[in-house]
Structure 1
Amino acid sequence: MDRIKLPSLVHYELILQVLERQTMMSADRDPIVRERVQQLIVTLRKALSQHKLLEVTCEHQQMEIEHVWSLNAVIGKQEVTTRE
């Protein structure tokens, strides 16, 4: 069976830290921007919670999880890059 590929949880943590430590400082000057940033933080925390729940579900179903750190993967000697 193929592994379920999921982003590493550290990706959520990085984004949350940037928003909470840096973006929120700048957003404090404008109540509308501050509210939007707070909404984004809440949404990301919910996504992180759902991600963890998915991992628990996969473990219960005995599905193997592979944490993906990047969209770049090395297959043999050929590098595959996904571009937007």
Structure 2
Amino acid sequence: MELTSRSIFEISDNSIARYIYDTLLPEIETPVSDRSNVMLFLEDNTLIMTVQSSDIISMRSALNTWLRLIAISYEIFNKLEADSALEI
């Protein structure tokens, strides 16, 4: 059984979307499991993530991991922006 999930993240700023995409590219190149495959695309200010898994357990695991990675990347970008604004 092949499972597929597609998640679309519309981000308010192109630079934030680009930062998240660039941050996650190394993770795409080194997959954690052979039971799931993750693809990430950037279109303007929109990130598109597709996860394909061979079973429900690996799908849940992959989605948890990648949703967390996207959220953390977004939080780090905002923290860096806030810190640089304070230095001005």
TM-score w.r.t. the length of structure 1 is 0.48
TM-score w.r.t. the length of structure 2 is 0.47
Greater strand share, 1 or 2? Answer: 2
Which protein is bigger by CA-based radius of gyration?
1
Higher RCO (C-alpha 8 Å, min separation 6): 1
